[in-house]
Amino acid sequence: MRVLITGAAGFLGSHLCDRFIAEGHTVVGMDNLLTGSMDNLAHLAGHDRFSFIKHDVSQYIYVAGPIDAVLHFASPASPNDYLEYPIPTLKVGSLGTHNTLGLAKHKGARFLLASTSEVYGDPEVNPQPESYWGHVNPIGPRGVYDEAKRFAEAITMAYHRYHGLETRIVRIFNTYGPRMRLNDGRVVPNFIYQALTNQPLTVYGRGTQTRAFQYYSDLIEGIYRLLHSNETLPVNIGNPYTEMSVMELAERIVERARSQSPIICIEPTDDRIVDDPKVRRPDITRARELLGWEPRVPADEGLTQTIDYFRQRL
Ligand code: NAD
Ligand code: UDP
């Protein structure tokens, strides 16, 4: 296959490029470098099956030659980033998804959308099955991301139903690992960076809110299987076995990094914790049944790998 991956210079996009290259496919990476870095793709420079186009996918997209699959991963993903870039986030989820769908239709390619557990908002049920419609505040600060992704899902289903496009939607739950930026702002890189630089770990609120943390390699495997499946409805990919409070995550990172950092609770005065989901855990029944997929990497192993990566970066 010849595959277009948008958001290729980001954390997940760059790992996806590696997977498709390793499977023998040809990859065209596209990114405007808003939150990504060419460092994540440096090892692919000069590879005969990899090329890169610097482009904002919210603008009309031109790619020469055949394309068999489009994987649309371009979008700010860290709350810090989408709060800093609210309008580019809305545009890439709406216009960017429209453009990438249009390209897929033109090329006769299969399309896979990177959606998110944020479509469930601050959920009233835990764990969240795909059948749950969500609890999103459309006009809150997080709405720029959540509603953009909800629109992206809606237009993806419309291209499937109206144009007969082959589409896939993955709802990704909190994923972490190497190639996240030191200053990404999401909780795992934040805590690891703080632990390794002997700064206090900043728990927002009381730290009772929960997340289930997935190591990137499990996600990439799930995405690869989903693309090759026949499933057009959304599929959750996340690790339900690792649900923990943010306070517990802080304690684990301090322990695994053998850090002396204290853990402090703070109340950010900006928009960062407005509508912060209080619980989150995927129901992965569909991924198990449709894809034969299960997460394999336990939290302690993934965190240790990620701590080692950040130590090297520092
Ligand atoms: P990231 O910020 O590392 O990567 C996003 C990439 O998209 C960056 O390289 C950025 O420069 C690029 N980008 C943003 N706007 C663009 C535009 N208009 N045109 C071209 N490129 C653009 O984030 P990530 O964690 O790798 O997330 C990748 C995708 O996965 C996003 O769509 C995100 O919503 C989704 N996702 C990630 C997680 C997670 O836990 N990591 C969870 C749910 C969903
Ligand atoms: N969080 C925190 N301290 C930090 C960064 C994040 O306590 O330094 C909390 C945040 O309020 C949220 C959780 O960690 O409850 C996960 O935040 P993240 O930004 O990683 O992703 P989210 O799941 O909110 O999209």
DSSP per residue, 81-116: HHHHSHHHHHHHHHHHHHHHHHHHHHHT-EEEEEEE
Would you call 145 a catalytic residue per the annotation? yes
> Per-residue pLDDT tens for 117-166?
999 999 999 999 999 999 999 999 999 999 999 999 999 999 999 999 99
Of 215, 222, 233, the residue nearest 305 (C-alpha): 215
Question: Is residue 57 in contact with ligand 1, taking CB distance under 6 Å?
Answer: yes
Please give the model's pTM, rounded to 2 decimal places: 0.98
Q: How many CA atoms lie within 13 A of 202 on its CB side?
A: 14
Which residue spans of the chain are classified as CATH 3.40.50.720?
2-174+214-238+283-296
Give 271's pLDDT tier (boundaries 50, 70, 90). Answer: confident
What pLDDT was estimated at residue 167?
A: 98
What pLDDT was estimated at residue 269?
A: 86
Q: Which two tokens stand for residue 236?
A: 């959750």
Give the burial string for 235-263 (b: 16+ CB within 10 Å, else e): bbbbbbebbbbbbebbbbbbebbebebeb
What pLDDT was estimated at residue 112?
A: 99
Of 283, 145, 170, the residue nearest 233 (C-alpha): 170
Q: What spacing in Å lies between the alpha carbon of 304 and ligand 1's midpoint?
A: 23
Q: What spacing in Å lies between the alpha carbon of 187 and ligand 2's midpoint?
A: 5
What pLDDT was estimated at residue 314?
A: 93
What pLDDT was estimated at residue 169?
A: 99
Question: Is residue 94 in contact with ligand 1, taking CB distance under 6 Å?
Answer: no
Phi, psi of 188 (to 5 degrees): -65, -55
Does 308 score more than 90 pLDDT? yes
The domain made up of 187-208+242-280+300-313 has a fold known as UDP-galactose 4-epimerase; domain 1 (3.90.25)
The number of angstroms, rounded, from the C-alpha of 301 to the middle of its chain's C-alpha atoms is 20
Does 207 score more than 90 pLDDT? yes
Q: Is 51 exposed, middle or buried (0-12, 13-18, 19+ CB in 10 A)?
A: middle
DSSP-based three-state secondary structure for 73: coil
Give 247's pLDDT tier (boundaries 50, 70, 90). Answer: very high
Name which residue sits closest to atom 16 of ligand 2, judged by CA.
Answer: 187
Give 272's pLDDT tier (boundaries 50, 70, 90). Answer: confident
> Per-residue pLDDT tens for 40-64?
999 999 999 999 999 999 999 999 9
Give 31's pLDDT tier (boundaries 50, 70, 90). Answer: very high
Catalytic-labelled residue, pool 145, 176, 193, 216: 145
- Tokens 């479509």, residue? 119
Secondary structure element (H or E) that encloses residue 15, with its range: helix 11-22
The angle at the Cα of 279, spanning 202 to 251, to the nearest 5 degrees, equals 35
Question: Is residue 276 in contact with ligand 2, taking CB distance under 6 Å?
Answer: yes
Does 311 score more than 90 pLDDT? yes
CATH of 2-174+214-238+283-296, one of 3.40.50.261, 3.40.47.10, 3.30.413.10, 3.40.50.720: 3.40.50.720
Which residue spans of the chain are classified as CATH 3.90.25.10?
187-208+242-280+300-313
DSSP-based three-state secondary structure for 161: helix
Name which residue sits closest to atom 35 of ligand 1, judged by CA.
Answer: 114
What pLDDT was estimated at residue 93?
A: 98
> Per-residue pLDDT tens for 64-120?
999 999 999 999 999 999 999 999 999 999 999 999 999 999 999 999 999 999 999
